[in-house]
Amino acid sequence: MAFLSKQKMFSKQWFIDYTLILVGSFILAIGFVYFVTPHKIVPGGVYGIAIVVHYLTRGMFSFWPDGIPIGLFGLILNIPLTIAGIKILGPRFGVKTIVGFVLASAFIDGIAMLRPAGDEPLVNDVLLSSIFGGVLIGVGLGLIFKSRATSGGSDIIAMIIAKYTKLQLGKLMIYVDSVIVLMGLLAFKSWLIPLYSWVVIYITGRAIDMILEGADYNKALLIISNKHEEIKNKILVDLERGGTYLRGEGMFTGEEKQIIYTVVSRREVAILQEYIGKIDPDAFITIMDAREILGEGFQSLGKKIEAD
């Protein structure tokens, strides 16, 4: 049961993917070391567990007076989880995933060792640290995901549980991370820890979406108007966009309708709205976010498939 596509070594895409993993792992590590770890925030995942262990083992070992290094403990957790994932789920976790969590662990401990302030926070404001930490971790993970690697860790636990239960993977990932967040509550005896941790988790998710789907979302429009010919010409000639006619029927009047479906940029939405408002104030327009558009005039479907 093969899940991984083969990729030619030292090809252009190979270099792009491993550069994304390298940069992503470094940015992720910055988010943890400077913003998340100093405030004992536990944002789920293996590094969330590692943060708890790091503080609980402070002063326990003479060779690790500040506690077990977070990156090292994360690596210790990731290795058996990945092996278990491969055995139970099949070859879903390739070399890029392994490289990703090894680099992330190395960067987290390396940057922490180079910091003269140790675990001192860069910013004393916990909320501000949560926001910036969440953004940096999300951007880092987004770049890693963009290379078609996975974050491993708690995601693998959720996948294994999903295999033997009827629970949805997305919900399981939330449950697993929530349990890890609550470990922070039990360890540090403060409700602020899980509250700030969930803020980081939310912002991380939004940042991942932004990296994977882009921040400048296009808009999909459904337009119902008796002036559809004029609107069609505006879209085709002035905006130089395409569209599709859909046949419809008014539920109340039974009248046949021509519905225009088109995708335009945010700026073009305003232009189109102004034009339609002038020629047909009674037009009905539905505007939806379209986060990924493949095809002529947008990202090439062929290139997307080649990259994947």
DSSP symbols for 32-74: IIIIIGGGT---SHHHHHHHHHHHHTTTT-SS-TT-S-HHHHH
Report the pLDDT value the prediction gives residue 298, as an integer from 0 to 100.
Answer: 57
CATH 3.30.70.120 residue spans of the chain: 218-307
Q: Are 5 and 92 in contact (CB under 8 A)?
A: no
Task: Output the tens digit of pLDDT for each of the chain's 308 residues.
Answer: 334 455 677 678 889 889 999 999 999 999 999 999 999 999 988 999 999 999 999 989 888 888 999 999 999 999 998 888 888 877 656 788 888 899 999 999 999 998 877 778 888 999 999 999 999 999 998 898 888 776 667 778 887 888 888 777 667 878 888 899 999 999 999 999 999 999 999 999 888 888 876 665 688 999 999 999 999 999 998 888 889 999 998 888 888 889 999 998 888 888 899 999 999 999 999 998 876 666 665 555 555 555 54
Report how far residue 203's alpha carbon sits from residue 207's, in angstroms, rounded to the nearest whole number: 6
Residue 9 DSSP code: T
Report how far residue 30's alpha carbon sits from residue 153's, in angstroms, rounded to the nearest whole number: 19
Count of C-beta atoms within a 10 Å radius of residue 105: 26
The torsion angles phi and psi of 52, rounded to 5 degrees, stand at -60, -50
Report the pLDDT value the prediction gives residue 276, as an integer from 0 to 100.
Answer: 94
Q: Are 140 and 34 in contact (CB under 8 A)?
A: no
Residue 254, helix vs strand vs coil: coil
Q: Are 41 and 130 in contact (CB under 8 A)?
A: yes
Q: For the chain, report the end-to-end CA distance as a whole number of angstroms.
A: 18
Report the pLDDT value the prediction gives residue 3, as an integer from 0 to 100.
Answer: 44
Residue 60 structure tokens: 């326990």
Report how far residue 144's alpha carbon sits from residue 150's, in angstroms, rounded to the nearest whole number: 7
Report how far residue 292's alpha carbon sits from residue 220's, in angstroms, rounded to the nearest whole number: 11
Report the pLDDT value the prediction gives residue 2, as an integer from 0 to 100.
Answer: 39
Report how far residue 214's alpha carbon sits from residue 273's, in angstroms, rounded to the nearest whole number: 24
Protein fold of 218-307: Alpha-Beta Plaits (3.30.70)
Report how far residue 20's alpha carbon sits from residue 16's, in angstroms, rounded to the nearest whole number: 6
Q: CB-based contacts of 84: which residues, under 8 Å, 6+ apart?
A: 156, 160
Report the pLDDT value the prediction gives residue 306, as an integer from 0 to 100.
Answer: 55
Give the β-pairing of 256-264 and 284-290: unpaired
Range list of H helices, the chain: 12-30, 45-56, 70-89, 95-114, 126-146, 154-164, 169-188, 192-213, 228-233, 266-279, 301-307
Q: Are 74 and 46 in contact (CB under 8 A)?
A: yes
Report how far residue 47's alpha carbon sits from residue 77's, in angstroms, rounded to the nearest whole number: 9
